[in-house]
Amino acid sequence: MKQNLLLKNVMKLLIFSVFSIVLLIAHKEVKAQTTITSNQTGTSGGWYYTFWNENSGGSASMTLGTGGNYSTTWTNIGNFTAGKGWATGSADRNICFSGTFNGGSNGFLAVYGWTKNPLIEYYVCENHGSWTPPGNTSDIKNKGTYTCDGSTYTMYTATRTDKPSIVGTATFQQYWSVRTSPRSSGTVTFASHVAAWKAAGMVMGTTWDYQIIETEGYGSTGSSNMTISECTVVTGPSVSITAPTSNANYVAPASSITFTASATTTSGTISKVEFYNGTKLIGTATASPYTYNWTNVAAGSYSITAIATDNSSKKDTSDAIIIKVVDPLKIYKTPTAITIDGTADAIWSNASVLPASAAKLLSGTVTNAADLSGTFKALWDNTYLYVYADINDESLKNDSQNAYDDDGIEVYIDGDNTKATTYDAKDVQYSFDWNDGTTIGTLPSGRSITGITYSAVNKTGGYIVEARIPWTTLQTTPSVGKLIGVDFMINDDDDGSTRDAKLSWNAATDDAWEDASLFGLAVLGDVLSNPCTTPSAPSVVSSVSYFVGNAATALTATGTSLLWYTAATGGTGSVTAPTPLTTVAGTTNYYVSQTVNTCESTRSTISIVVSPLSQTVSLKAGWNLVGCPITGSTALASALASIWTNVETVKNMDVFYSSTNAANLNSLKTVEWGKGYFVKITNPCVLDWIAK
């Protein structure tokens, strides 16, 4: 097998070289929208084109569109290549391309061409099918990686000895750069690739032959539709987020999400990379690798971008990625096995076993809750995953060959929570229809139903489905804390024909039957030991006032096992009561819950209102009566700092201060909030009550 693979890759590299010569056989001018199936080169609307088919099986064609457009299709082809570009290549050409590319099992999209003096055959591979060129044969040498045009490229080289080329049989070097994040549209700054090759000892020739964007198919079936042009690249930085991938899921509250960006610039250096959640800056990195660790992230969906700034203040913004931080459905472990009879065991009524509602309308029309609505609960033990669905449906039908066209439920499981966009071996959908006996529907068709038991029973205005699914059938080993992908849907048939409506718990579109990334998230919890009744929120003083600069005290609340938060929902609670800051005027909310018998309450809110101290009083020379607005007790000299040089005497009915007294003779040392004082001053002035 290894020898066959080696031979295949060697033959592929040989064929790549052969087609360049064959293309020179015929060269002619053709009009746009001409479909080509025979080997030839030529020009179309001023663009150089090539088409070559080894004719070892299958079929291939190339349609020449207007300008730089071309399209291809190939079916069970041995080897073929086609593309458009320039009859004479360039070391510093900026090549723009856009369109669609389907490489199948073994095809790729690349900038391709030749140089002479020395003779070089080169590829800048931008996209490929499931086979990644140039393969791993012994004559291929990995020359390292570099970054340009928003991605990392891996370089390869090989010596081709006595092989066909554009000058006949010759010995020459073959250069490859393969993009690690494939794309079908973008800009190839070819000079960057030439420079990277040179730095790796891969020197180009001094004479340039043709240079094209090519579509190649080898032992595969595929298609492409590309439009190329020579474009102007604006100098400056380029940035892309390389991790995590878009639509990545995290469990709320996410203790840590690390963002990594790749940033380059055509001149100068990168000064910084800033990471934004929408329009809000969340972090900055100033050195490569450009990373930022976002901590304690509450539940929600976030749009993250990176902005790179170079040393000349030029900026570039990355494409946005979506990050989802979700509260997973908690599936608790049952201490005893569940009886599958459609009658709820007592454990289903445990306060911790919360129902999840199928409230998203995927198709059709739902008139009201009686027409269609429902919830489901889930439990587990070491042997089974248990599901209990309570469905409201006033018109029940079961008369169709397709399970989804009758009244029933669908349960989706992703045992390893990979959230792939296509089903893998651990992704499955089970259908349990009303009045369907023991029949269980599956997608993909033929998936195992070994050991699955369910019961569907009528209730007033609907039905109940109770089921158990062995973990062995799901190919999953359960454990406390394990994450699994789940979804739950209800089908509705009101008139005995096809489906009239469909509801889901998580998926927003009716594609979860083939796309596991649409599933929701669940976590396997520990065994339920006692019922959980949510306690009331702790008692608090809902509003506390300070002036700027006042000394604050730690917040208090009446309750058991208090947890303090800075947000109304989500986040991680602290057992230490916070002490508010009073340095800036404004209102800040704090939140506190209590936990009773392992059950946490909702959160009470405490609003801290910090008012500015900007009260001033104009005083005349002589005696003045003033009231103190500063909260608490404040040192006399600090409170009267703004007029202290003019103060002769301060007194009230109890205490006395004189500037001529020795310090130990003055009984008035502080002023108190809300009290009045007689103040004698030498000159008119303004008293600013801000504590200094």
Residues of the chain above pLDDT 90, percent: 70
Q: Which of 58, 38, 41 is nearest to 50 (CA)?
A: 41
CATH number of 335-527: 2.60.40.1190
When mean pLDDT is compared over 47-56, 74-83, 626-635, the highest value belongs to: 74-83
What was the pLDDT predicted at 469? Answer: 97
Domain ranges of the chain: 2-230, 237-326, 335-527, 543-611, 616-688
Q: Which of 216, 274, 410, 466 is the catalytic position?
A: 216
Check residue 15 and give its pLDDT: 41
Predicted pLDDT of residue 692: 45
Q: What's the pLDDT score for residue 233? A: 64
Provide the pLDDT confidence category of residue 282 given band limits of 50, 70 and 90. Answer: very high
In the predicted structure, residue 377 carries a pLDDT above the cut 70: yes
Chain segment 182-205, per-residue pLDDT in tens: 999 999 999 999 999 999 999 999
Annotated catalytic, 121? Answer: yes
pLDDT at residue 7 tops 50? no
pTM: 0.44
pLDDT at residue 14, as a whole number: 41
Question: Tell me, what's the pLDDT at 12?
Answer: 43
Are 2-230 and 335-527 equal in CATH topology?
Answer: no
Classify domain 2-230 by CATH number: 2.60.120.180
Q: Given a cut of 70, is residue 113 above it in pLDDT?
A: yes
- Tally the C-alpha atoms within 13 A of residue 218's C-alpha that lie toward its C-beta: 24
CATH no. of 237-326? 2.60.40.10
At 4 the pLDDT is 35
- Check: CB of residue 377 under 8 Å from CB of residue 388: yes
Confidence of residue 472 (pLDDT cuts 50, 70, 90): very high
Is there a contact between 413 and 385 (Cβ–Cβ < 8 Å)?
yes
- In this structure, is the dihedral angle defined by the CA atoms of residues 188, 189, 192 and 194, taken in order, positive or negative? positive
Give me 132's structure tokens.
Answer: 């990644």
Residue 177 has pLDDT above 90, yes or no: yes
pLDDT for position 56: 62
pLDDT at residue 18 tops 60 = no
Q: Which of 121, 214, 274, 410 is catalytic?
A: 121
Task: List, in sequence order, every residue forming a beta bridge with 112; answer none if it has no partner.
Answer: 123, 212
pLDDT in tens, 417-426: 988 889 999 9
Q: What distances in angstroms separate CA 508 from CA 241, 518, 539, one per listed residue?
A: 26, 8, 40
32 pLDDT above the threshold of 60:
no
Stretch 437-459: mean pLDDT: 93
C-alpha dist (Å) from residue 383 to 250, 333, 468: 27, 11, 9
User: Average model confidence (pLDDT) for the chain?
Assistant: 89
Quickly state the pLDDT bin for 11 (edges 50, 70, 90): very low
Mean pLDDT (whole number) for 335-352 = 90
Residue 616 CB-half CA count within 13 A: 7
Q: What percent of the chain has pLDDT over 70?
A: 93
